[in-house]
Amino acid sequence: ISPIEDTPAFRAGILAGDLITHIDGKPTKGMTLSEAIKLMRGEPQTSIVLTISRAGRDKPLELTIVRDIIKVRSVRSKMLPNDIGYVRIAQFQERTAPDLVRHLRELGAEKPPKALILDLRNDPGGLLDSAIAVSSAFLPPNVLVVSTKGRIPSANREYHAKPADYLRNYMISSEEDYLADVVGWAKTVPMVVLVNVGSASASEI
């Protein structure tokens, strides 16, 4: 879907929609996902060459990627001119919502922003509970966030902006609602959400 920020693939120039046709010269056609992953994984600081087919380009691209230990920083934030807060979520992980709350508090430490930008571009998704929690930080309590419908009754689910729905599988401190202290302005300031073709799964929620 898209490379995660600050990872070897991102630094090498892999883009959303790229198709990997060869791994170190070996064709990926007919290869299972687990086989491809096994070939791509390796010791940190070793290299691998991926051959990429990219829409709009006649010839394939060869990109050299230097493997590394991947640690994803889920949330970043900064103040933009005219008192506009900017929050970037790279991926929805277990700590994303608590980190979001901390970033919002830091953004409004001196005075609340006049508006907020939530940037989900090229965010490939992640944990469902995290997406519900992030949504709940900006929504009124108990409103419907997302629902699923299927052919059997057990597939029909509704998830609301309430602790029972976003703390279901929370492993850090299941007794504590980390959204209880979310800053009030987060639910009232004008807000823009940025998405693109690389925003998938949890980002769509």
pLDDT for 81: 95
Please, what is the Cα angle at 171 between 38 and 86, to 5 degrees?
80
Output the tens digit of pLDDT for each of the chain's 205 residues. 788 888 999 999 999 899 999 999 999 999 999 999 999 999 999 999 999 999 999 999 999 999 999 887 899 999 999 999 999 999 999 999 999 999 999 999 889 999 999 999 999 999 999 999 999 999 999 999 999 999 999 999 999 999 888 887 655 444 578 888 789 999 999 999 999 998 999 999 9
pLDDT for 169: 67
Cα–Cα dist 128/158, whole Å: 12
Q: What pTM did the predictor assign?
A: 0.76
pLDDT for 143: 96
Pick the closest to residue 172 from 109, 98, 89, 68 (CA basis).
98
Cβ(119)–Cβ(89) below 8 Å: yes
pLDDT for 45: 96
